[in-house]
Amino acid sequence: MVVDTLAVWLRMPGVHLTTCLEIEAAEALLSSFRFDVVVTDLSVSQLGGLEGMRLIRFVTANFPDTTVYVLSGYVDEGVRSLCSVLGVTSVLEKPEGLAQLRNLLLERRSANAANAANGANAANGETASASPGAEDTGEVQQVERLEDFLAANTIRSVLQPVVKLREGGAPFEVFGVEGLARGPTTSVLGSPSFLLAYAAFKELLFDADMICIRAALSEVRHLGSAVTTFLNVQPRSLTNPEFTATLCDAVLAAGMVETRIVLELTEQQTIVNPRAFAATLHRLRERGFRIALDDYGEGSSNLNLFQTLRPDFLKISGTFCRGLARDPFKQIIVQSTAEMAARAGTATVMEAVETSEDAEILRFLGIDYGQGYFFSEPLPGRELASSPRVGIAHPEHPGKLAPLGATSPSS
């Protein structure tokens, strides 16, 4: 009720508000998107206490350019002093602080408009509107509680093929597909990166991962062909003792087998229980699951993770593919990575392949598979099954390719 009241009071043209009901949602938002201002109470928990101080410290320590306003009914000199030390811009007391807060945002909006006008004048020699958001009634978007969002089960999946690199153009021979989660565009939680960040703060990564995995497996059933399926998993999910059994049940329910599943792991989340992670990894391999290290080349510990995981597949970050055909230095990196992986018995996949030039140079450099818009955009299972751009070995004509759904009686 308080959040809704605050949103109504602060709604104005040129100001876009995102409201949260939990500290974890705010922390995840700040980690995923840029905000000019953070407004928080000091008591933000049903348990009482001044937990808002935790959010304030998170913002001022990690995002020093973000202005912090505190609006609270619990204000005394001790609170004001502590907020000042933490870097809070203004401490406002309810209820009169509402009007003060609105005035502060109006002043900030006017200053931003003036700066934008000056920038436009300097760049174009034209007169810019003093209120660029004047026609905007002000957007208010509330982040629902994570548990409620997960329970609604609105996550779906699209599939992007992983193809064998060879000479020539389409159709390309499919080796496998990667399931990519998609959420409702009407929700901030529709962004998979934000969803997982929020889940990490709430220690619900396992639940979020399983919802995305089930959505991907559901789409694969529509392909009509048995292909290797790459599923994204956060390493921290593997520390859950129920992960292996739950995953096996999901694979069985989808009518698939473990040997056709490749789990893509990244280093986005710190593994807090290495022993449990290693035990789960061992159980998964015993069941026939294969492992891929995703986004190789991003972050600082990928080589360590490569050594720890001993993956079956190495998926190289697409940043090394952009402009690859014209960048000799990138070619050296990609070729040396391909050679290292080959000597370790690991197959390589280059992500984000967008041009025929780059696809051809990848084959020359020793990369095994490619994935990206040059081959196919991510599509729902039924659409990918009939796509003329990709196919599998024709069941009746060796050497020719047939659409993925050609072997399915129902397709």
Domains in the chain with CATH codes: 2-143 (3.40.50.2300), 146-407 (3.20.20.450)
Taking the C-alpha atoms of residue 201 and residue 189, their distance in angstroms, rounded to an integer, is 14
127 has a pLDDT exceeding 90: no
Of the listed ranges 12-16, 151-155, 200-204, 373-377, the least confidently predicted one is 12-16
Name the DSSP class of 127. P
Cα distances from 55 to residues 27, 85, 218, in angstroms, run 7, 14, 38
pLDDT in tens, 37-72: 999 988 765 555 677 888 999 999 999 999 999 988
56 or 305: which carries more pLDDT confidence?
A: 56
Look up the pTM and report it. Answer: 0.86
At residue 406, does pLDDT exceed 80? no
User: What pLDDT, on the 0 to 100 scale, is given for residue 137?
Assistant: 62
Helix pair angle (77-86, 52-62), 10° resolution: 30
Closest residue by Cα to residue 335 from 379, 75, 327, 281: 327
Give, in order, the Cα–Cα distances in Å from 260 to each of 141, 231, 257.
40, 11, 6
Which of 30, 33, 35 lies closest to 16, judged by CA? Answer: 35
Could you tell me the pLDDT band of residue 397, with boundaries at 50, 70 and 90?
confident
Instruction: Tell me which residue of 105, 90, 97 sits closest to 12, measured CA to CA.
Output: 105
List the single range of 232-236, 339-343, 364-368 with lowest mean pLDDT: 232-236
Strand intervals (E) in 114-202: 140-143, 156-164, 172-182
pLDDT confidence tier of residue 270, bands split at 50, 70 and 90: low
Residue 125, pLDDT > 70, answer no
Amino acid type, 86: L
The region of weakest confidence among 1-15, 109-123, 354-368, 375-389 is 109-123
Tell me what the mean pLDDT of segment 349-374 comes to: 96
